[in-house]
Structure 1
Amino acid sequence: MMELDEKVIIVEGTTDKRKVRDIIKEPIEIICTNGTISITKMDELIDELFERDVYILVDADDAGEKLRKQFKREFPEAEHLYIDRMYKEVAAAPEYHLASVLIGANIDVHKEYLGKRMI
């Protein structure tokens, strides 16, 4: 039987998944919803992720907020991570910003992404 990662991050798109995967240093499963999620798929996810630490990291736009509300309603145990609204999308947020959001949730990140702020 395959060993499951203790932590799971749920993102919207594959670009978000790649960007987050490059920043994190610990083994974390990253699940992509492709922007929406059906009630059936949500129920499957809840069953599958029941005893794991789940983090929701979605875009700061209308579609992301709709998805976030759905997760808050259906999966209240999940921890919600927020990017600054000025970036709108996880994929558009700078790596240093995503790294600081992830560190704030006790997720280990590669140190080269910290403090790499471009002025």
Structure 2
Amino acid sequence: MSIVNKVLIVEGKSDKRRVEEVLLEPVDIICTNGTMGVAKLDAMIEELYDRQVYILSDADSEGRKIRKWFKKHLSESTHIYIDPKFTEVGRCPRDYLANVLMRHEFYVDTGFVWKGKFKYHERHETIERYINAYSI
């Protein structure tokens, strides 16, 4: 069994489902289910060692607590932010979320990507990288 190098940490199941709707690449998505205990978070650090870790939490107080913990204990993680007007990742429109993830080099369903947000050649290169990386 091969380990997927990218890990995306979200708060809840609805966030995970929304992200899965737009992603095209294999990514381990871990739900924190809100604020987690110290023991669970410490165990998680061992599992995340030597992997690309992205934090995608809600734009609320619980999301800020989770970000603060990861910034302190897993400082090499990359934080992905959503517009506070959506409050929760699970409520983000698919096209918005696809664009946010694409900016962080995730391979997303380009049917959700806003026209004009990225230059054509950038979108085209990203799609080519996806095809080359995942073609058999």
Shorter chain as normaliser: what TM range? over 0.9
Aligned mates of 2:2, 2:42 — CA distance in 1:
22
Aligned-pair CA distance for 1:76: 0.6
TM-score by length of 1: 0.93
The CA deviation at 1:43 is 1.2
- Rounded to whole Å, the distance in 1 between the matches of 2:80 and 2:36 is 18
SS of 2:7 mapped into structure 1:
strand
**Which runs of 5 or more residues in structure 2 are unaligned?**
116-136
For 2:6, the equivalent position in structure 1 comes to 7
Q: Where in structure 2 are the equivalents of 1:38-77 lying within 5 Å?
A: 38-77=37-76
Across the aligned residues of Structure 1 and Structure 2, the Cα RMSD in angstroms comes to 1.0
Structure 2 CA distance for aligned equivalents of residues 110 and 57 of structure 1: 18
Please tell me whether Structure 1 or Structure 2 has the larger radius of gyration of its CA atoms.
Answer: 2
TM-score, normalised with respect to structure 2: 0.82
8 Å Cα contact 2:21/2:94 also seen in 1? no
Identity percentage over the alignment? Answer: 46
Count of aligned positions: 115
Query: What are the within-5 Å matches in structure 2 for residues 4-43 of structure 1?
Result: 4-43=3-42
> In the TM superposition, what is the alpha-carbon distance from 1:86 to its structure 2 partner?
0.8
State the match for 1:78 in structure 2.
Answer: 77
Shift of 1:24: 0.6
